[in-house]
Amino acid sequence: MIKHLWLVMFICWGACIDEIKIDLPEARLQQKVVEGYVERDQNKYILWGQVSLTQNATGSFAPEPIGALITIRYNGNIDISIPEGTITRIPIDEFHRLYGGTPDEARFQLIAEVQGQRYHSAEQKIIPVPKPDSLTVKTELRTEVNMNNNITENRYVKLLVHTPLLNTKNELVSLSWVVSSAFQFMEGMRSNPFYDEKTCYSIYNVYQNDINVAGVQDYPGKRTIHNIEIAETPNDFRFSIACYFTVVQKSLNQESIDYWKEVKASNERTGNLYDVFPGRIRTNIINEIDEEEIVNGFFHASEVDTIRLRVNPDMVDYPRQRCLLWMEPEIITADDPDPCLDCLKLANSSLEPPHYWK
């Protein structure tokens, strides 16, 4: 009896979270979101910018560029027009041949013109990014309560990065990471000896809303950081043959790291008693005509470096196996959703491996 009482009590203390129907004070006017970035990897500059509108907090999400003229101003006086919402890639050599200057001195600014208004960002300089040392994975077994309130034991795979904070100019640099993955998947073995089972490659972006950043002030005195957890995913069939993690490491200046930390703090609120108060996320964009207009968004300039890790089943204690087909239907139709029978049914799957696959 006491057990049950405590069960009820503790569940309610810790997890009395449910959906509620109330009217949130949705903003009457949509605000503009002006954003863009200039990134540079070993070979090229990547330019992107767009203007969109905020959406209701509870509404469906379909942000669309609203038809702005996007310009990247280079070194204060050279305007480079780019298509809104589309990535523009320019090889480094060609960029400087066209627009002059050197990579070390490059400064960028975003300018957007839309609906009779003109917006510009603060000028940003690209800080060289340290090259990441390595990636590793580790597994974790966690006892959890599932949706049906049953106790289950679940395995997870965590991706860890190890990297210096010092760049080639001996500067300590704040970093951010964007993680994606792709995995290999083999259809189940058929009884028909003439059927050639397919192997697919699927891009899996479960991490897209995670914000992984590290500010140099978070690690005072450190020149290298290790075991920074930048992704976590269930240890499941995606590790049964092979999986690749791709991590793009970006350099951030102080204002950018502060921006991302504020976004992270806003997104990680869970409504608990010890949540830090939310606030208005900073921006480095202003309306030149109406400076009072509330504008969202940020313009970043970063150098990026990419590192990958191939994860084989033995690295995460997952049995190496093709998809297990328990019962093969007599007639396989195109509508059959089982990827064991047709691996192209997997989301974002292709028969062609990514270019980096080995």
CA–CA distance from 205 to each of 26, 32, 46, 96 (Å)? Answer: 30, 27, 21, 34
- Per the DSSP assignment, residues forming a β-bridge with 145 are 151
**Rounded CA separation 108/300 (Å):** 9
Whether the CB-CB separation of 203 and 244 falls below 8 Å is answered with no
Least distance to other proteins from the beta carbon of 122, Å?
A: 14
21 lies in the site for other proteins, by CB under 8 A = yes
**Rounded CA separation 70/38 (Å):** 13
Number of residues located near other proteins, criterion CB under 8 A? 80
Residues 118-177 that bind other proteins (CB under 8 A): 143-145, 151
Least distance to other proteins from the beta carbon of 348, Å?
A: 14
289 lies in the site for other proteins, by CB under 8 A = no
209 lies in the site for other proteins, by CB under 8 A = yes
355 lies in the site for other proteins, by CB under 8 A = no
**Rounded CA separation 227/207 (Å):** 18
* Piece in contact with other proteins (CB under 8 A), picked from 1-9, 110-118, 191-199, 311-319: 1-9
Residues 225-264 that bind other proteins (CB under 8 A): 225-229, 261-263
Tell me the residue type at 216: V
- Per the DSSP assignment, residues forming a β-bridge with 233 are 157
Whether the CB-CB separation of 196 and 175 falls below 8 Å is answered with no
18 lies in the site for other proteins, by CB under 8 A = yes
- Residues 345-349: contacts with CB under 8 Å, at least 24 apart: 346/185, 346/200, 346/202, 347/202, 347/204, 348/202, 348/203, 348/204, 348/205, 349/185, 349/200, 349/201, 349/202, 349/203
Among all chains, which residue has been given the structure tokens 């930048």?
A: 230
Least distance to other proteins from the beta carbon of 25, Å?
A: 6
> Which is closer to other proteins, CB of 109 or CB of 256?
256
Least distance to other proteins from the beta carbon of 341, Å?
A: 25
280 lies in the site for other proteins, by CB under 8 A = yes
277 lies in the site for other proteins, by CB under 8 A = yes
* Piece in contact with other proteins (CB under 8 A), picked from 113-121, 187-195, 221-229, 302-310: 221-229
> Which is closer to other proteins, CB of 52 or CB of 181?
52
> Which is closer to other proteins, CB of 152 or CB of 168?
152
Residues 49-88 that bind other proteins (CB under 8 A): 52-61, 63
> Which is closer to other proteins, CB of 98 or CB of 145?
145
